Chains A and B, each alone.
Chain A
Amino acid sequence: MQPTRRTMLKGLGAIGCSLAAHPLTTTMTFAAAPGENRLVVLILRGAMDGIGTLQPVADPNYARLRPELSRASPGADLAEGFALHPRLDPLRPLWAAGELAFVPAVSTPYRDQRSHFDGQDMLEAGTGRDVPVGAVRGGWLNRMLGAVPGVTAETAFAIGRDTPLILTGDQPVSSWSPATRLDLSPQARLLLERLYEADPLFHAAAFEALELAESLGRSEEVDSFGEMMRMTRDAQAEERAAEGARALASFAAARLREETRIASFSLTGWDTHRGQRAALDQALRRLSDSILTLRDELGPLWGKTAVLAVTEFGRTAAENGTGGTDHGTGGLMLLAGGAVRCGRLFGGWPGLDESALYDRRDLMPLDDVRRYAAWVLRGLYGIEAGTLGSVVFPGLDLGDDPGVLV
């Protein structure tokens, strides 16, 4: 029997759900704000192909719309009707442990223009189409910090070369790129500290720079300038490579084990217009490496952690003529972490019938990605619904709690 949309959705909640108790169970933990809970927001820049990642194999239109791609990277079944891209198989233990969830048909309010730049701006600003561009300053993670007492510059960390829009704004945040390394002899470090002591601006920056450099662990004795120049030159290339993703996640974990509660970094390589098979393979490997590095290096804190992976929009339901997919609308959101409710799919599935598509080409989004983000913020940090709907995500109707947290 061909599974119908109804049978695909039925039982999504039960599959892969472990009964293990999670440490994050009561609101008591929220008393000492910003508390002990951790949030990592991964921005998947370039528009992730949700359909190729969480594959709706039971939908007969899937193979019809994607004759090549559906055969290129076939996944094994995950929950009824959906298969998981093989490059995310390393995450299956998380699913089994109840630490992984998906929202398969979701989007920001952004529609129709399908520009990466504008789409990412809207994703990070956390606004809707009813808010004029520029009317709200900065990003939603930064505005959210304003609603949490006891925030310091260490509370939120932007990891990577630039502070992304999502964390810019009035609240202080820290930023660091693990590719910037400072390797000095102890003598030179001592002299530097003395040098900066009398200049407050330099003193503040240098002290933090040295602290951060040390927290990365002192690398081999670097006496050779050639080695230093290599590191400077390779810094950019390094960030793009798989090692770079792991380094970002590892740095995030190191900060989150200390004072930091919120971290955000970006993963690129999702704009798969051509040769999607190889490109998506690499991008998904970086995603799964990032999540597993966070889990491994956060240790017991993983239980208090939620990871949100969000992208600016999805990709076309059908494959194009160059072995890829083009800019679309509805896409996939991924949640991971011990704070996330047992392996589940949330929010329903509209199907890939032509009549069910947005604009007859894209997956129809059934829900607003900001609603999930808002309920996660509410769950982790106890922020009031009114604040979430007016300050953090102006104009957002929070609706009912989708229940993504434990």
Chain B
Amino acid sequence: MDPLISIQPSEPAAVYRPGDRFECEYQIDAVEATEVQAVEASLLWYTEGKGEDDMGVHFFQRRTSYDAEDHDLRALHRFKTDMPRSPLSYDGLLFRIRWCVRVRVFLRRGRSLVAEQPIQLGPRLTHLNPEPAATAESTGA
């Protein structure tokens, strides 16, 4: 059975505004303490859609067993940061910009597990064109 990762932002349903204080806690269950070698928590944006995926990390924290009390990385851990001013969440025609909290757990023997909790930065912005025209061009490589 895979370990369970729970992520709980302080206001999971809320829309965060740029500059807002963001607090989040996470916990790991269903795994032995000695199995967990490191945990990485990130607050990041990424794009998804027709183009190649891009990603930007706003907050990043890596903890190993030496950083944790009793060398146990499973315990509830909280982090906080200020939300950035951009990019805002966006639903476009060709791509979307998403924000999420991502927790990555590194286990023994090179295994790793990822859990995500989506959040929203800014109002829900979409494209404003009801009938968009597409133009495509290609450059050989």
> Do A and B interact?
no
Q: Which residues on A are within 8 Å of B, measured CB to CB?
A: none
Q: Which residues on B are within 8 Å of A, measured CB to CB?
A: none
